[in-house]
Amino acid sequence: MCSGLVDPDFSVIDDVWTDVPEERIFVSVNSKDYAVRSLFHAIGPARAALLPGWCGNFLLTSAQVRRTLPHVERALTFTRDERTAADAQDWLDYSPTDECVLDGPLRMWRTAATDGLGLCGLAVHVS
């Protein structure tokens, strides 16, 4: 374990996201215990395998964002019937005013690629 590298009071939720402009962040709050696993179930294993990172966690440079964008677009672009099937998953419970987890990640990837930015994804389980 590396000691002294991270402030013990550091919080990803409080210390990373607080100063990020709203258009450069996507937050999805789900009532299910394993929302990323549920997302993978909704989109299927072939699409889930196209997403970089490990179960919703990743830290990518701008070059990696551009390189992975076509894979993410294939994973998260749906025909009408595919979208209806994914939306029908019982875990996908979001307010009409909230951005859906099927839309937000792709929007963020495209924005980061267009703006030449890196991208950080993080699945946090709060109990």
Q: How far apart are CA 114 and CA 96, in angstroms?
A: 27
Summarised one tens digit per residue, pLDDT across range 19-42 is: 666 666 655 555 555 667 777 878
11, containing H or E segment? none
Residue 115 maps to a domain: yes
For residue 46, name the pLDDT band (cuts at 50, 70, 90). Answer: very high
Q: How far apart are CA 108 and CA 120, in angstroms?
A: 10
* Contact assessment for residue 30 and residue 39, using Cβ atoms and an 8 Å cutoff: no
Residue 127 maps to a domain: no
Residue 3 maps to a domain: no
Summarised one tens digit per residue, pLDDT across range 92-107 is: 666 666 777 788 889 8
Residue 87 maps to a domain: yes
pLDDT value of residue 1: 45
Residue 15 maps to a domain: no
Radius of gyration of the chain (CA): 15
Q: How many domains does the chain have?
A: 1
- Torsion angles phi and psi, residue 11, rounded to 5: -130, 125
Which domain does 68 fall in, by range? 28-121
Question: Picking from 46-55, 74-83, 94-103, 111-120, which range would have the lowest pLDDT averaged per residue?
Answer: 94-103
Three-state DSSP class for 107?
helix
Residue 21 maps to a domain: no
Summarised one tens digit per residue, pLDDT across range 60-79 is: 999 999 999 999 999 999 99
